[in-house]
Every structure is written in structure tokens, then in C-alpha cells.
Structure 1
Amino acid sequence: MELLEGMLGRRTTNGPFRPEAVSREHQHLLMRVAAAAPSHFNSQPWRFVLIENPQTIQAIAEHAGQSMQELIGRGIFFERYRRYFRFTQAEMDERRDGIFIDHLPGPLRPFTRQIFSDTGLKLMRQLGVPARLGEDNRKLVAGSPLLMAVLLDREEYRPGELSAFYSVFGMGGAVVNIWNTVGSLGMGIQFVSTPMEIPERWQAIQTLLKVPDNLELMAVYRLGYLESGDKRPSIDWSSRHRKRVAQYVFREDCTRPETEG
């Protein structure tokens, strides 16, 4: 039951972590649960870099903050991901997917519906929203005591072949095992996604981590022990809703949605 409760209670940490270092014991436990994931022919294609050096963390944080500012300022973020945004509780209750923008500074609240328009983008620039989001993102990463880079072995990860799917599938299982374990250690985890959106930023992180030619950098996460309470960034969202069973499960074939009992 504890395992099930942990899986059903899994969440992403959008706020800050406590400043103390993650113990080596906990770091190695996370690596062991990652290694317990299934993989094609037991290939175990995943590789990890555990990053505690403050200078490296600060450098990655700068790339995260600058990429966030650029994504928002140029409108790239909203253009790519507008279909996931929900602005009312009723909309979230109906769709039960995407992210609910439920935490905004006062000046922005009347303009949520215009967020995807040229007028909305201009207003956000005038109010300094891209810079604020960028700085929030930089601070979150910079204040994380541990970063974790996830890589795949190119001998297994060969895009265009089934091996690429198998490798990504196995890597996903390894990361989910980590995600489902951090809660029992009083820890949180968050995907540091924005540098991946800007190719030159992502390349800079690969250079910083000295990624060799035989490995492919796939993702970076920030981890740490959780703060008490629920301190949230100035602009934040909720994504705890999940689709109802009848919205994503079918019985026998794809024409008959499952009946919820």
C-alpha cells in the first residue's frame, strides 16, 4: 500500500529545495532504483551524471534562466505549448489534462485570455514577465543542491531504428523509478527543460558536462530535500488533474471506452 500511495501521490516540485546537500547514501539509492528498471535484452542503456559542484550548477542555472527568458520573450513557449494551458478550474475539470495557470501576479490576472495574442505578448514584455520568469527559473536551478543529467549509450540509442525506442522506453522506466522514490526520502525532483528548447544552450551544457561522442545527453533534473510549506514561484501552475478512466482506456478495441466502476 505504501508503494501504491507513493505512486499515486507523485508530484513535480516547482518550488525551491532546502540548501543542504543530498546525502551520498540517498544519491546511490536513487541510482540503484534507476538500475532496477526493465530494459531491452537487459541492455541498461542509461547513464547518469550527478552534479554537486556549485560552479557547474550555477552555469547550468544561467542557461536555464536565459533560455526561459528567451522562450517567453520571443513568444516561442506559448506558440509551442498553447494547447496545454488551462485558465479556469472549470476548463481543467472538463479536460483533466494540461496545466492550470492558477498563480499569477496581480497585474497579469485580467489578461490571461490574451496571453497568446500579440497584445498579450507585448504586455508581458512591458511588465517584465520574461525577465521575471527567467530569474525565477535561474534561482530554482541555482538553489538546487543536486542536478542529475540523464544520458543514453549511442550503441543502443540509434535514432531511426527500433533500438532508439527501446532505449528511450528503458530510460523512461529508470527515471520514473527515481521519481517514485524521492518522495519517500523527503525529496523532490523537477525536469530542467528550458535549455533543451534552445539548441545552443543545450550544446553548451553538453560541453560543460564533457559529454563524449558515444553518449547522448537526454535530460537534466534538479533534486533536493523539500522545504516545509508550499512556497511557489511568482508565476506558477498546477497539474494534479488526471483524465478519467473512460477518457483513456478502451475495452476490447478502440471503439468502446471503458466503463468506470
Structure 2
Amino acid sequence: MKSTQLPDTRLIEGMLQRRTTNGPFRPDAVSREHQELLMRVAQAAPSHFNSQPWRFVLIENPQTIARTAEIAGQSMTELIEAGVFFERYQRYFRFTQAEMEERRDGIHIDHLPGPLKPFTRQVFSDAGLKLMRQLGVPAKLGEDNRRLVAGSPLLLAALLDKEEYRPGELSGFYSVFGLGAAIENIWNAVGALGMGIQFVSTPMEIPRHWQSIRELLEVPPELELMAVYRLGYLPDEGPRPTIDWSSRHRKRLSQFVFRESCRVPEQD
């Protein structure tokens, strides 16, 4: 008679508990053991023909982190000041729990500076942007962003080898797919190590700032810088950013899964 073993669901449970860290990290350096482990889980990701097109830069140098933080903060200030950030991404903003329950996607803006709370729905309009400028919110958000990056003990740059990464060809898609899988492995692993991770996205929004990051990291012509992340150990609790959101809702199965063809939504 065969013995029945219950499946080990710890990996699945860890994936379902995945989080993005919007707040600060502890100042402790990330151990070399944990850094190596994160690189090994990235290495385990699938890639087309086992090409492993990803390359990573682990950054602990305080001067490099500080300069990256300055660029990230300045980028945020410029994006908010010009209204570019809200113009590009307003379709993802939700302002009530009811909206989140209905759509089950996007981000719920649930934390605003006191003077802006009466104008929650208008905060990203022209009038709201004018008020934010008057209150110095763009500079405050830029400084928040700078401090978050500057206080991160580890930055991780993700790159692709241009021999494999050829935009417009299938190899370009395969390479991005593989890097995405490698990053997702890292993202799922940090929780088990008591760590957090967040995309440092604002420099990518402004070409000259992204070029500054490339130069700072001395990226050679044969590599393409794709993304930068900040990592560190999580504190017990930390203050929320000036403008913050939650994004734990996920679409129902019937909203993104079909059965047999695209005409038949899956039942919830």
C-alpha cells in the first residue's frame, strides 16, 4: 500500500505572499550569503535554449548608491512637477475601496498629505497639480524617493546581453521573458530572507537620467541596462511615503482566465 504524502506548499504560499516594499529598509548590509543565494535563484530561471541572457550588477558602494538616489529623486521631482507621471499612469489610480473591489487592479491611493485629502479625486487634475506645486509636493516626493534609495544597503541592476537581446526579433522577446523570470525568482526569494525589494523606476522615465545611470554603472556597449532595484532587510514597521497606495487586490479568475477558447470565461 503506497503512503500518501501531503504536498509541500511552502513555495506556493511564499509566492502568494509576495510584496513590493514602498518603505525604508534597515541599514544592515545584505550578507554575501544572501546576495549569492539571490543570484542563484535568478540563475535557475528558464531561458530560450538555456542562453541565460541576464547580467546583474550588485551595488553596495555608498557613493554609487547616493548618486543613484540623487538621480531617482530628481527624476521624481521633475515627473511630478510637469504632471507627466499622472498623465502617463492615471488609468491605474483608484480612490475608493469600492473601485478596487469592482476592478481588482490598479493601485488604491489611500495615503495623502493632509491639505490634499479634500481634493482626493482632483489631486491629479490640473487644479490638483497646481495645488501640489504650491504645497511643494513634487520636491517632497522627490526627497522621499531619494531617501528611500539612499537608505537601501543594496542596489541590483538588471541587464541583457545584446547578442541575445535583439528588439524586433523573437530573441528580443525571449530575452525579456527570461529576465522577467529571473527577476520574479529573486522577488519571490527575498521574502524568505526577511528582505524587501522595489523597482527604482523614475530614472527610466527621463532619458537623460537613465543615461546618467548607465554611465555611473559603466555599462559597456554589448549590454543593455533594463532595470534597477533596491533591496534590504525589512524593519518591523516604518513610516509611509508622502503619497502612498495599496495594491493587494487581484482580478477574479473570470476576469483574466478563459476555458478552451477566448469566448468562454472561467468560472470564479
Question: Considering the TM-score relative to the shorter chain, is it more than 0.5?
Answer: yes
* RMSD, aligned CA: 0.7
Report how far residue 21 of structure 1 moved: 0.2
**Aligned residue for 1:177?**
185
Q: Is it true that 1:153 corresponds to 2:124 in the alignment?
A: no
SS of structure 1 residue aligned to 2:241:
coil
Question: What code does the residue aligned with 1:45 have?
Answer: P
Report how far residue 236 of structure 1 moved: 0.6
Q: Is it true that 1:109 corresponds to 2:117 in the alignment?
A: yes
Question: What code does the residue aligned with 2:188 have?
Answer: N
Does structure 1 retain, via aligned residues, the 8 Å contact 2:72–2:142?
A: yes
Bigger radius of gyration = 2
TM-score relative to the length of structure 2:
0.96
SS of structure 2 residue aligned to 1:190:
strand
Does structure 1 retain, via aligned residues, the 8 Å contact 2:42–2:183?
A: yes
Partner Cα distance (1:50, 1:94) in 2: 40
Partner Cα distance (1:71, 1:79) in 2: 10
TM-score relative to the length of structure 1:
0.99
Partner Cα distance (2:137, 2:178) in 1: 38
**Aligned residue for 2:263?**
255
Question: What code does the residue aligned with 1:113 have?
Answer: R
Does structure 1 retain, via aligned residues, the 8 Å contact 2:116–2:123?
A: no
Report how far residue 117 of structure 1 moved: 1.9
Partner Cα distance (1:11, 1:130) in 2: 26
Query: Quick check: 97-106 or 229-238, which moved more?
Result: 229-238
**Aligned residue for 1:40?**
48
**Aligned residue for 1:90?**
98
Query: Quick check: 106-115 or 159-168, which moved more?
Result: 106-115
Report how far residue 230 of structure 1 moved: 4.4
Partner Cα distance (2:75, 2:192) in 1: 32
Q: Is it true that 1:79 corresponds to 2:87 in the alignment?
A: yes
Report how far residue 233 of structure 1 moved: 1.2
SS of structure 2 residue aligned to 1:139:
helix
Count, aligned residues: 260
Partner Cα distance (2:129, 2:212) in 1: 28
State which of 201, 211, 215 in structure 2 corresponds to 1:193. 201
Q: Is it true that 1:67 corresponds to 2:75 in the alignment?
A: yes
Partner Cα distance (2:126, 2:27) in 1: 40
Which structure 1 segments of 5+ residues have no match?
none
**Aligned residue for 2:4?**
none
Partner Cα distance (1:102, 1:121) in 2: 18
Does structure 1 retain, via aligned residues, the 8 Å contact 2:24–2:238?
A: no
Taking only the aligned residue pairs, the percentage that are identical comes to 79
Report how far residue 255 of structure 1 moved: 1.0
Listed one character per residue, the Cα deviations across residues 220-256 of structure 1 (whole Å, up to 9, x for unaligned) are: 0000000102431121100110000100000111111
Partner Cα distance (1:213, 1:15) in 2: 34
Which structure 2 segments of 5+ residues have no match?
1-8
SS of structure 1 residue aligned to 2:46:
coil
Q: Is it true that 1:12 corresponds to 2:5 in the alignment?
A: no
